[in-house]
Amino acid sequence: MSDRLSVGDTAPDFTLPDADGNDVALADLRGKNVIVYFYPAAMTPGCTKQACDFRDSLDSLQAAGYAVLGISPDKPAKLAKFRERDGVTFPLLSDPDKEVLTAYGAFGEKTMYGKKVTGVIRSTFVVDANGKVAVAQYNVKATGHVAKLRRDLGL
């Protein structure tokens, strides 16, 4: 079980490939607020709903100074399909080794359909302009999460 992050912690830096294989580094986004969300698998119903909610809210999030990054263990080719199929307009990053997922405490034991399993814990973080964790939410619901996050952020 990996340690969970708390508000005020320094967000673990990362560089991961996007759907086109280009590296995206959290450090390059310093000075902006960045919403980093971890989801189990591209193209699945819950993850699609969540990505579409972020997509539909992206203009207002960006207007308020937030960038959005979605991270899953999927390979870039699958992320590209997901992006094309659902018109995702923010970077989807690939973490097949689950190093970043683990660093954020978003990979580990969870309960699914009443059974304990090891996997991706649907989680969302807001990293502030200085690289600190401003929001850390674990076990978020795919549906309605973006609306709740917007309320939490006062948007």
Closest-CA residue to 39 (of 78, 84, 8, 11): 78
Confidence of residue 3 (pLDDT cuts 50, 70, 90): confident
Q: Which residues pair with 137 in a beta bridge?
A: 124
Report the percent of the chain where pLDDT is more than 90.
91
Q: Is 52 a residue of the active site?
A: no
Neighbours of 33 (CB within 10 A): 18
**Mean pLDDT to the nearest integer, 72-76:** 98
Give the burial class of 46: count Cβ atoms within 10 A of its Cβ; 0-12 exposed, 13-18 middle, 19 or more buried.
middle
Digit-coded pLDDT (tens) for 79-88: 999 999 999 9
Helix segments in 3-135, DSSP class H: 45-63, 76-86, 99-103
**Mean pLDDT to the nearest integer, 7-35:** 97
- Give backbone dihedrals phi and psi of 8, rounded to 5 degrees, phi first: 100, -20
Digit-coded pLDDT (tens) for 96-143: 999 999 999 999 998 878 999 999 999 999 999 999 999 999 999 999
* pLDDT score at 95: 98
Give me the chain's average pLDDT, please: 95
Which position among 47, 88, 120, 146 bears the catalytic label?
Answer: 47
Digit-coded pLDDT (tens) for 23-52: 999 999 999 999 999 999 999 999 999 999
